[in-house]
Structure 1
């Protein structure tokens, strides 16, 4: 089950919640009770392994 990070725009309360893909997003802050909660999105780390991902890996010799 995925874990989502939320932040209240009213009181800046940060929290995480495990939810199913079919569950509705949380909109009411559990701390202040206001309807100001939004999902916080962050970059997903990507790791390239193997050859072919760098300029020096492709081709051999010089091109003229």
Structure 2
């Protein structure tokens, strides 16, 4: 079950509580009875297992399926020489 953090708008009391997803949010502060707001924190991401490595996308023979050097985006010199008419 997830843990939710709340803060009172009136007295500033901060606390955490374990609630089910189906439970409704708390609305009253347990200290002063004032109105509560739910605090949102960054999500902690945990990757479990062997992980993802550079070699995961390679073929079974150990050779890369991706070219090691980027392809040139300029036209080939042969194409330029064929159009010169010499």
Greater length-normalized contact order (CA 8 Å, ≥ 6 residues apart) = 1
TM-score, normalised on structure 1?
0.69
**Higher Rg of the two aligned structures:** 2
Question: Structure 2: which 5+ residue stretches go unaligned?
Answer: 55-65, 73-86
How far has the Cα of 1:20 moved from its partner?
A: 1.2
Partner of 2:42: 43
| 1:19–1:46 Cα change, 3 Å | closer
Question: Structure 1: which 5+ residue stretches go unaligned?
Answer: 53-57
Contact 2:5 2:38 in 1 (8 A): yes
Partner of 2:82: none
More strand by share: 1
TM-score, normalised on structure 2?
0.54
| 1:23–1:60 Cα change, 3 Å | same
More helix by share: 2
How far has the Cα of 1:26 moved from its partner?
A: 0.4
Aligned-residue Cα RMSD (Å) equals 2.3
How far has the Cα of 1:9 moved from its partner?
A: 1.2
